[in-house]
Amino acid sequence: MFDLKVIHSVLEQLEEERGIAKEKVLEAIEMALATAYKKEYGKKGQIIRAKFDIGSGATEFFQVKIVVDESQVIMDKEAEIQEHTDRKPEDGEKVLFNPEHHILIQDAKKMKKEAILGEEMIFPLENKHDYGRIASQTAKQVIIQKIREAEKASVLKEFGEREGDIVSGTVQRIERNNIFIDMGRATGLLSYDEQIPGERYRQGERVRGFLYRVEESPKGIFLRISRSHPRFLAKLFEVEAPEIASGTVEVKAVAREAGSRSKIAVSSKDSHIDPVGSLVGQRGVRVSTVMSELGGEKIDIVEWSEDPKKFIEEALSPAKILSMEIVETEKRATVQVAEDQQSLAIGKGGQNVRLAAKLTGWKIDIRSTEGDKRKAEDLKNKEAAAEALVEASKAEVPTETVVATEEAPAETKEETTQA
């Protein structure tokens, strides 16, 4: 006889701590009882099921038989012929008839007129209460296995619904620069590639990250977490800016070099709401909070536009551009800036223009007005030199003299002319 108080207590504890529904545990208990019964008293091929009443503690056992006809099974006579002819049926063609597993349709209709092929016929079995050590151990293993499966399914459902959101946990251990995070019912993995460069973590420290994938493995469920993912930046702003959470302001694109600098493009569905101001916040409090979470990473917030020229101009901020030529078919833009704006537009190590290209999806070429003037002058000088060479050849003047004359200082040229 079961101690119902203990069972009720265990069911409530499993549901509260591990999120396993009571029905799943009862199903595991019934399967374990059926397995133990079959192990101790059953016959080969039998399908045995148990019904456990949580209210009274009573248990009932049943044998299940599948309704078949002679076209689906190999009867005893056919089986003997098969052995003599050495012929084996193909997979799925027929199975050997087992009276403990099957019941013919004509016999089933004697007990139930509406019986159909494939139906399960249930026959009650005598209740047993005494089980051997092996049967009891088998039942215990079945319960443990079923509870583990139910817990895994519960964890997958819980964190599967949170995939694409921000999660948090404490650092459990660090192995080969990979950080394992205790998430309560599962373990989060923050790999080296998904960390922000320069950040250091200690055991027991709390960490927030972006849950981008839920993985199931033989060792358990692992939650793939990232702090360098572009969507982590967007989600942090969603937490800080109610306008994004409500859908009034939309994040259109994010370009990020984690730990250094990011650009985020936003637009507003309400003309009265400034999308950039919504992310900056009063006195910059919202963007400052996000920057602090990312270890001081610089963030450029720009307004998204359907017009490629305007969007590229915004993406290259804080640099000011003078003009722009675009090739729609190649998604290429040539941007003209002043000499003093060129380094700002390109950025340190080309970072600004690189992020702008990622944000817009366009190839961007930066040119300065002074640079173009120098190129034009160089081209003009080359053309003049070429013309001089042609004239020299016509006058039969040695080429070396013309070249020396072109390269000599002004005073030298005059002296040569006088000479």
44: domain CATH number? 3.30.1480.10
Residues 146 and 172 reside in one and the same domain: no
Residues 139 and 216 reside in one and the same domain: no
Does 12 score more than 80 pLDDT?
A: no
User: What's the pLDDT tens digit per position in 168-224?
Assistant: 999 999 998 899 999 888 889 999 999 999 888 899 999 999 999 988 777 778 899
Does 293 score more than 50 pLDDT?
A: yes
Residues 10 and 127 reside in one and the same domain: yes
Residues 150 and 10 reside in one and the same domain: yes
For the ranges 142-151, 292-301, 408-417, which has the lowest average pLDDT?
A: 408-417
Residue 362: pLDDT band with limits 50, 70, 90: very high
- 244 and 251 in contact (C-beta within 8 Å)? yes
> Average pLDDT, stretch 26-35?
80
Residues 25 and 125 reside in one and the same domain: yes
Residues 17 and 139 reside in one and the same domain: yes
Residue 150 lies in a domain: yes
pTM (2 d.p.) = 0.63
Place of tokens 């702090």: 227
Residues 201 and 144 reside in one and the same domain: no
Give the Cα separation of 407 and 399 in Å (integer): 13
**Structural domain of 193:** 162-226
Identity of the residue numbered 282: Q
Residue 199 lies in a domain: yes
Q: How many CB atoms lie within 10 A of CB 44?
A: 8
What CATH code is carried by the domain that includes residue 340? 3.30.300.20
For the ranges 76-80, 134-138, 304-308, 369-373, which has the lowest average pLDDT?
A: 76-80
Give the contacts of 303 (CB within 8 A, at least 6 positions apart).
Answer: 265, 266, 267, 275, 276, 314
Q: Of 97, 128, 155, which residue is a domain's last? A: 155
pLDDT score for 401: 47
Place of tokens 């055991």: 203
φ, ψ (nearest 5 deg) of residue 228: -105, -5
Residues 146 and 212 reside in one and the same domain: no
Residue 195 lies in a domain: yes
Place of tokens 């921000």: 166
- 142 and 32 in contact (C-beta within 8 Å)? yes
- 146 and 24 in contact (C-beta within 8 Å)? yes
Q: How far apart are the first and last CA of the chain?
A: 129
Buried residues in 165-186 as b, exposed as e (16+ CB within 10 A): ebbebebeeeeeeebbbebeeb
Number of domains, the chain: 3
